[in-house]
Amino acid sequence: MKVRPRDAKQAWKEDFESSANRRDDGIETSTISGVPVKPLYTSEDLPSRPEEMPGQFPYTRGIHPTGYRGRLWTMRQFSGFATAQETNRRYKYLLANGQTGLSVAFDMPTLMGQDSDAPTSRGEIGHCGVAIDSLADMETLFDGIPLSKITTSMTINSPAAILLCMYLAVAEKQGVPFATLGGTLQNDILKEFIAQKEFIFPPEPSMRLVVDSIEYCAKEVPKWNTISISGYHIREAGSTAAQELAFTLADGMAYVDACVERGMRVDDFASRLSFFFDAHIDFFEEIAKFRAARRIWARWMRERYGAQDERSWKLRFHTQTAGVSLTAQQPELNIARTALEAMSAVLGGTQSLHTNAMDEVLALPTDRAARIALRTQQLIAYETGAANTIDPLGGSYFVEALTDEMERQAEVYFKRIEELGGVIPAIEASFFQKEIADSAFRYQQELEQKRRLVVGVNEFMVDDEQQIEILRIDPKLEREQVERVKAVRAKRDQARCTKALSELRKAARGKDNLMPYILEAVRAYSTEGEIMGTLIDVFGLYTEQAVI
């Protein structure tokens, strides 16, 4: 008698379901974002579509045919603290240790467009980044660092145009032509309204400044990434992976719409749009998110916006490991968390990466912690073999299915945003803000109920937490910075400065591109606060409705 062999899949299902050996500890098996996952994925979960290849539309498997066989990702550690002089020293230290690009963190007064001697700057100077008040500080920041040899990323939004002009003015002084400058300006105001809340002007004039800088750079600084459309802050504010993906890409499309409305051709600016995502702790979900992001962007750029140039279809992104996943408890564990998150970014094909330092949950990183973070990337690049195969998880039943799921969820959000009238009306209706706050609260409740565990926080605690060394900002630096900005004002050619600011005010009332006016004000050593103040006079200030 012949026994028919058991169908392998059916047999597994029976074995799994009848097994007494299954965990029943009440811990969630869905992703950290709440996406249900099955215990096993098989060929049945694979989408039926032609095989995708790296370097080919829709770029799910990567934008380069060579992956990291061509060029490794840029190891770009975000740093900045205290004064320009202190930060300049840290940059030289990082470059000497093999870092391949700079990334400037500004302090809160700089991010909010005010000078160090403004009353509300008290206690904030140099704490979460470097204090920059005028071109004089920017000259110090890049002293001895040739801008022709490095690329620089600047994380700044409402005052982004001013800081870019300061960088351009430093390049002028170093004799480096604008056309050769490489770098990235965050310049993403929409996610400020949505998540990080460092807005100053209302949405409309804010968007004008963004489009002005994109338009100006398309002509004058063609190798500059004019915007880094950021999901990072959306995720850190508590969104799910799919919300991060959807809201970020929706923002991207809103910028494309605004530039097209200005009269620009998509292919003249789209290749200089870049993205910035979070690498959170849920390993496979993150990889799926990165892969889905490329596929969605390529489709929308080609099909909705009619971009012809392949470079316009390719979503390039920077990644930072999740600050919010770090714990103050047993902080050394953050090294392990960061390594796993960084690995997901690499397997997801990131173009550049920042790895957090273990002590960033407590303060800005010490030299030692910053070096370990950078070494973690070097270890992934050179020891693990992860960079040797392009999109190594392509074809994984699970990762492919999850990539499709991310895409599906994002498309649902695009429809909802469109129904609300687009990104800006949705911001004004607090749509994003509420969605994010709901997700953050849901996650916190899961922690409280121990349906999710965070090692060292709600399980596996220790009684004697060891203190780790942290970086302290000397209060003396605050006073020195205040003196410095006052000295700049006393020393400069006041007539040139006044004229530049008055020209800027006039231009702001009209329709001219404001970049040349801001650049002239910067060259005249107008301070950041003075330039912003001039624009606030014309544009006004934005306040948001506070929703819990």
Partner 1 sequence: MSPKAAVKPVRIVMAKVGLDGHDRGVKVVARALRDAGYEVIYTGLRQTPEMVVDAALQEDAQVIGLSLHSGAHMTLFPAVVEELKRRKATDIVVFGGGIIPDDDIVALKKQGVAELFTPGTPLQEIVAWLKQRFPEGG
- Structure token digits, residue 313: 């279809």
Amino acid (1-letter code) at residue 23: R
Residue the block writes with tokens 């500004």: 106
Q: Is residue 447 close enough to count as binding partner 1 by CB under 8 A?
A: yes
Among 363, 417, 515, 521, indicate the residue that binds partner 1 (CB under 8 A).
363
Q: Is residue 467 close enough to count as binding partner 1 by CB under 8 A?
A: yes
Closest C-alpha among 398, 399, 393 to residue 288: 399
Q: Is residue 111 close enough to count as binding partner 1 by CB under 8 A?
A: yes
| DSSP-based three-state secondary structure for 18 | helix
Task: Show contacts with partner 1 in window 224-263 (CB under 8 A).
Answer: 236-238
- Residue 190 C-beta: closest distance to partner 1, Å: 14
Residues in the interface with partner 1 (CB under 8 A) total 44
Closest C-alpha among 364, 252, 232, 362 to residue 297: 252
Nearer to partner 1, 121 or 225 (CB): 121
CB 14 within 8 A of CB 22: no
The edge-to-edge listing of strands for the beta sheet with 317-321 is 74-75, 352-354, 317-321, 273-279, 227-230
- Residue 414 C-beta: closest distance to partner 1, Å: 24
Nearer to partner 1, 105 or 253 (CB): 105
Among 329, 366, 378, 498, indicate the residue that binds partner 1 (CB under 8 A).
329
Among 303, 448, 483, 537, indicate the residue that binds partner 1 (CB under 8 A).
448
Among 40, 328, 429, 487, indicate the residue that binds partner 1 (CB under 8 A).
328
Q: Is residue 437 close enough to count as binding partner 1 by CB under 8 A?
A: yes
- Residue 283 C-beta: closest distance to partner 1, Å: 21
For the chain, the C-alpha Rg in angstroms (whole number) is: 24
- Residue 346 C-beta: closest distance to partner 1, Å: 27
CB 207 within 8 A of CB 216: no
Point out which span in 6-14, 323-331, 414-422, 489-497 binds partner 1 (CB under 8 A). Answer: 323-331
Nearer to partner 1, 324 or 420 (CB): 324
CB 381 within 8 A of CB 72: yes
The rounded distance, in Å, linking the Cα atoms of 471 and 341 is 24
The rounded distance, in Å, linking the Cα atoms of 142 and 126 is 17
Task: Show contacts with partner 1 in window 112-131 (CB under 8 A).
Answer: 112, 120-124, 127-128
CB 349 within 8 A of CB 65: no
Point out which span in 87-95, 162-170, 177-185, 356-364 binds partner 1 (CB under 8 A). Answer: 356-364
Cα distances from 120 to residues 156, 162, 477, 488, in angstroms, run 19, 20, 17, 20
The rounded distance, in Å, linking the Cα atoms of 433 and 238 is 10
Asked if the peptide bond before residue 58 counts as cis, ω within 30 degrees of 0, the response is: yes
Nearer to partner 1, 122 or 311 (CB): 122
- Residue 363 C-beta: closest distance to partner 1, Å: 6
Strands 152-155, 102-105: pairing is: parallel
Rounded to a whole number of angstroms, the distance between the first and last alpha carbons of the chain is: 70
Task: Show contacts with partner 1 in window 179-198 (CB under 8 A).
Answer: 192, 196-198
Amino acid (1-letter code) at residue 34: G
Q: Is residue 340 close enough to count as binding partner 1 by CB under 8 A?
A: no
Nearer to partner 1, 54 or 331 (CB): 331
Per residue in 10-40, is it b (16+ CB within 10 Å) or e — as a string? Answer: eeeeeeeeeeeeeeeeeeeeebbbebebeee
The rounded distance, in Å, linking the Cα atoms of 452 and 448 is 8
Point out which span in 104-112, 142-150, 247-255, 298-306 binds partner 1 (CB under 8 A). Answer: 104-112
Contact flags string 38-77 toward partner 1, x per CB under 8 A:
----------------------------------------
- Residue 83 C-beta: closest distance to partner 1, Å: 15
Point out which span in 270-278, 386-394, 498-506, 539-547 binds partner 1 (CB under 8 A). Answer: 539-547
Nearer to partner 1, 73 or 247 (CB): 247
Q: How many CB atoms are closer than 10 A to CB 209?
A: 26
Point out which span in 159-167, 177-185, 288-296, 357-365 binds partner 1 (CB under 8 A). Answer: 357-365
CB 181 within 8 A of CB 223: yes
Footprint of partner 1 on this chain (CB under 8 A)?
108-109, 111-112, 120-124, 127-128, 192, 196-199, 236-238, 324, 327-329, 361-364, 436-437, 440-441, 444, 447-448, 454, 457-458, 467, 470, 473, 543-544, 546, 548
